[in-house]
Amino acid sequence: MNAYFITGTDVAVGKTHVVTALLRDLAQRGVSAMGCKPVSCGDRKELRAMREAAGAPTLSLDLINPLYLRTAADPRMGAEFERQTVSLSDLAGKTADLAAQYEVTLVEGVGGWETPLCPGKTMADLAVELKLPVLLVVSNRQGAVSQAIMTARAIRERGLECRGIILNQQSEEWDTAAVTNRAMLEEYTGLPVLAELIYGEDELDSSAVLG
């Protein structure tokens, strides 16, 4: 599979924003690409944004989101409340089936790297099952460097390759951390910052990020 696993240092760091920006750029380049979120919780508006960005607004949401939990909580608890069974192998298989239909597939995790998924398993276990290179989305704010160091280390400890960081500015204001984070991230994680999204920007160069 020519696919990538998109994770973040925390919830609400802009993973879907990054995925949709990449899909939009790939579509403009004439590349057949799709986003995929094996598990989603709460609502599916992010999934609708993905398929719109990929130029496939009528594609079934069930294809790009095999497990939908209405409960706005970690999947582990959402599945328990809704009496649903989470199978890593089933999710990985359906993700692979979707990816086989596209030149590029961007697989977005839920929340952070170790978000609880099912008893004894987290999103990191699904990433391992998929065996995909990882892209790490980091919100450009104070505390980002520490979170990124820990997440990058955890990815490597799972035996997966972290290709690099996408830095996402989520505030109009620029403080000292926002100005210096890029250099600090590259120094302390050993990873390249492949792209930096400024507040209000929704365009990414997919060739720079994906190679």
For 59-78, how does the pLDDT look when each residue is reduced to its tens digit (9 = 90+)?
A: 999 999 999 999 999 999 99
Q: Which amino acid is at 172?
A: E
Q: What percent of the chain stands above pLDDT 90?
A: 99
Please enumerate, as own/partner, the contacts of 186-191 that have beta carbons within 8 Å and a separation of 24 or more.
188/145, 188/148, 188/149, 189/148, 189/149, 189/152, 189/165, 190/152, 191/136, 191/152, 191/162, 191/163, 191/164, 191/165
Is pTM beyond 0.85? Reply is: yes
- Per-residue pLDDT, 161: 98
Give pLDDT tens digits for 74-93. 999 999 999 999 999 999 99
Greatest extent of the chain over all pairs of C-alpha atoms, in Å = 47
Q: How confident is the model at residue 96 (pLDDT cuts 50, 70, 90)?
A: very high
Give pLDDT tens digits for 149-160. 999 999 999 999
Q: How confident is the model at residue 40 (pLDDT cuts 50, 70, 90)?
A: very high
Q: Is the pLDDT of residue 1 over 70?
A: no
Which residues are designated catalytic? 37
Q: What percent of the chain stands above pLDDT 70?
A: 100
Q: Is the pLDDT of residue 184 over 80?
A: yes
Average pLDDT over residues 88-109: 97
Q: How confident is the model at residue 211 (pLDDT cuts 50, 70, 90)?
A: confident
CATH of the domain at 121: 3.40.50.300
- Could you list the residue range(s) of the whole structural domain that residue 127 is in? 3-210
Q: How many domains does the chain have?
A: 1
Give pLDDT tens digits for 128-142. 999 999 999 999 999
Q: How many CB atoms lie under 10 A from the CB of residue 61?
A: 15
Q: CA 29, 34, 37: angle at the middle one, nearest 5? A: 145
